[in-house]
Chain A
């Protein structure tokens, strides 16, 4: 039997708190899970700094990747034998589902922003480069690694295959919503996935939903909406994210200015120098980053030391609501006051906007931006979800956006009591809050 079709003698199962069991029967999948590149995902948290707000959110990208694989496996059981579905694509779908997040680095949102990286580039490099994952995929066929990379990159010719992993109702989102809800302990984020899987149908190059399943999909869309504001965009998590970014900026700045670190930033060198090789990227996981932060909390540089102490001990910045239009003059005054007070505003006065953490709300696809969710009506017509559902329509319009101003309240409180600077800073920050 070819490697592509090789099955394990006995099915393996992973106990999973969200899906109960993750089932593995394909030798290829089993081998991929055992690679160092996939095992590394155990050391990357799914929700980055969210564990500083919701202490349960310690789950990893390893958990999530297995979950996405399991959902796709179940969808394909339902697709088997249906028109539009090419069974030959089964293994490709499963591999792409399992490997879709392979290129995520530590705290990837901040790292990507500060060092101008793209985790999808690294996923591609791991799948196509000289790695264990690539060796296994090559055993399936010579062009199989490229096919997997194309599916993950959403440029594969069969859009139906792509849409299982990446569309507005895909296995990725269905797993992370439920998993993130479970591990954060919040009560939103739950929806009837079994029902959605039962009403999904392959139709030409997209996955559509039988109209009878509309209410289950409504629930899923509402979960996305609530999880965004309640979990993903929690202001305290954003505070931790702000500090993390500033640590990375400061460490890079110090390196570029020949600062003599007590602990040499060996693992960060290629990041600071702007040429991150795959090997260096794979070596830097979250435990390594957190080790540096602990060590840097004893550095001579006051800013790096303070920011690392804050992150390590969850001594976060406070925040107020901020309107950059109405409060532009106040911002400029605050910037000067902070500088006069000896608090470097580049590191300690930060505006964070909702767009700094992109999260894709459901969009009905006006002007063909993105393929919307289509309902398959009893007469076989397709109708876009928000045209059929009042609930979805109500949250698909203009979006709520916000901006918050983060600052170290303890630094301001520590300014001398008779300081006019201190009084004025307090006046500006708290007159409306």
Chain B
């Protein structure tokens, strides 16, 4: 199948309509992966949580091919990126036979959240082989600077369980 992994990402952009922020995009794909959506980009733990260099490169390829558009916006002390599928992207996807489980509801839930919150959720999911209390301890250790509160954690647990029930 031609560019199957690219096509999976295109399905994500089709479902999300627009994604704002590279960090948010990274975390959204990771969280979907942890919810059994079979994206194949490999993630490693970095300073700001799970991060995939492979995903970054693939997004660059999709931009260079003209399948998605990337809009760079100047913020006060950094740049923000906005991604959308193009008409050419839609044409490509039309010919692709890639199938993914439904993910629209999960995407909509995530889009409402901040990248900081999704960073917390993805970090908690990264340690999901541990007991819940150990997960929280680990998050406090590796994310000292983010100062996540008990309330943030509680909210994240609710969010994770909500996500797992959604399509």
A19 in the interface (beta carbon within 8 A): no
Q: Are A358 and B65 in contact (CB under 8 A)?
A: no
Contact residues of B: prevailing secondary structure:
helix
A328 in the interface (beta carbon within 8 A): yes
Rounded to whole angstroms, the CA-CA distance of A283 and B48 in the bound complex is 36
Q: Are A369 and B64 in contact (CB under 8 A)?
A: no
Known contacts A328-B95, A369-B23; 5 additional CB pairs below 8 A are A113-B40, A325-B65, A355-B57, A398-B63, A403-B3
Residues of chain B with a CB closer than 8 A to A398's CB: 60, 63-64
Q: Are A367 and B78 in contact (CB under 8 A)?
A: yes
6 inter-chain pairs at a CB distance below 8 angstroms, sorted by A residue, are A157-B144, A328-B2, A328-B95, A355-B5, A370-B47, A398-B64
Bitwise, A389-415 to B at CB < 8 A (1) or not (0) is 000000000110101000000000000
Rounded to whole angstroms, the CA-CA distance of A331 and B65 in the bound complex is 15
B12 in the interface (beta carbon within 8 A): no
Residues of chain A with a CB closer than 8 A to B23's CB: 367-369
Question: Given contacts A155-B142, A325-B88, A354-B61, are A369 and B67 in contact (CB under 8 A)?
Answer: no
Interface residue ranges, B against A (CB under 8 Å): 2-3, 5-6, 21-23, 26, 40, 42, 44-48, 51, 53-54, 56-58, 60-61, 63-67, 78-81, 88, 91-92, 95, 115, 127, 138, 141-142, 144
Q: Which 6 A-B pairs have the closest CB atoms?
A: A355-B57, A358-B54, A355-B58, A401-B61, A154-B45, A371-B47
Bitwise, A345-383 to B at CB < 8 A (1) or not (0) is 000000101110011100100111111000000000000
Residues of chain A with a CB closer than 8 A to B44's CB: 120, 154
A26 in the interface (beta carbon within 8 A): no
Question: Given contacts A118-B42, A355-B61, are A157 and B48 in contact (CB under 8 A)?
Answer: no
Q: Are A351 and B138 in contact (CB under 8 A)?
A: no
Q: Are B2 and A331 in contact (CB under 8 A)?
A: yes
Q: Are B92 and A353 in contact (CB under 8 A)?
A: no
A323 in the interface (beta carbon within 8 A): yes
Rounded to whole angstroms, the CA-CA distance of A399 and B60 in the bound complex is 7
Q: Are B48 and A368 in contact (CB under 8 A)?
A: yes
Q: Are B2 and A324 in contact (CB under 8 A)?
A: yes
